[in-house]
Amino acid sequence: MSVLKSDHLTIKFGGLTAVSNFCLTVEEGELVGLIGPNGAGKTTTFNMLTGVYKPTNGKIYLYEQDITKKRVDQITALGIGRTFQNVRLFSGLSVIENVMVGSHLRLKSSFFQAVFHTPRYTKEDKQIREEAKQLLSEVHLDKFENKVAGSLPYGEQRRLEIARALATKPKLLLLDEPAAGMNPQETKDLMSFILKIQEKFKLTIVLIEHDMKVVMGICKRILVLDYGVTIAEGKPIEIQHNPEVIKAYLGAEANYA
């Protein structure tokens, strides 16, 4: 059973077809890269997979369950977590609160139990806090637990976003340009970090990235989008030498030496 299967996903906005016939099957444990020039429709695809946009045509299956028409929060509950291209943290909340929000959907206590602090709720709350602290130490942010999220430097905000997504206990993690704005050292750390969490949390990961070092370095399989169309799919080495891909990025028949 595949983790994710998208079947001829198409989305049109008015007269513009942003993404057409996007087909992707992801098996458990895979690390797939989604690349393409700016405006190719990569984030739009993520938005369809997570339920933010409803596709005009096509279907999405998560563990063979049709999630095409489901709400965003329902899809998250079923196991898809994501980060955003432009970091979207809860800036006014503290670092640890940001992560704890991710755990809310798995809370079993009712709201009355929460208000009156029943033993059941108190236990759950403590567990949520413990798990949040663990996730924060994974991303090396545990010392900043009580800092206001908006005050963190950019790189740390990105890490916090990943921790928050992990708190939702996803099976499939969608990372949207996680290396954006990072220097080479940070990028290297990010790459080993992604591999580490994939192993530790048994994740399947799909990754949008512009930084080719990251993509070629950790992705086992890559899809290339251009103007919403999938123009290539295959192993990193194949993609690097694919003339269509080169044309899409460089705009002409240039020599990729």
- Contacts with another protein, residue ranges (CB under 8 A): 50, 52, 71-73, 76-77, 82, 84, 88-93, 97, 100-107, 109, 111, 114-117, 121, 124-125, 128, 143, 145-147, 164-165, 167-168
Identify which of 84, 115, 79, 113 has the alpha carbon closest to the alpha carbon of residue 98: 84
Task: Compute the least distance from the CB of residue 169 to another protein, in Å.
Answer: 9
Task: Compute the least distance from the CB of residue 96 to another protein, in Å.
Answer: 10
Identify which of 50, 61, 74 has the alpha carbon closest to the alpha carbon of residue 27: 61
Beta pairing, strands 204-208 & 172-176: parallel
Task: Compute the least distance from the CB of residue 43 to another protein, in Å.
Answer: 13
Give the span between the Cα atoms of 177 and 86, in whole angstroms: 9
DSSP 8-state assignment for residue 149:
G
Nearer to another protein, 98 or 230 (CB): 98
Nearer to another protein, 34 or 191 (CB): 34
Task: Compute the least distance from the CB of residue 239 to another protein, in Å.
Answer: 29
Task: Compute the least distance from the CB of residue 139 to another protein, in Å.
Answer: 16
**What does the block give as tokens for 214?**
């990251």
Residue type, 195: L
Nearer to another protein, 83 or 242 (CB): 83
Nearer to another protein, 154 or 256 (CB): 154
**What does the block give as tokens for 106?**
């798995």
> By the 8 A CB rule, do 77 and 105 touch?
yes
Give 82's strand partners.
Answer: 174
Nearer to another protein, 159 or 164 (CB): 164
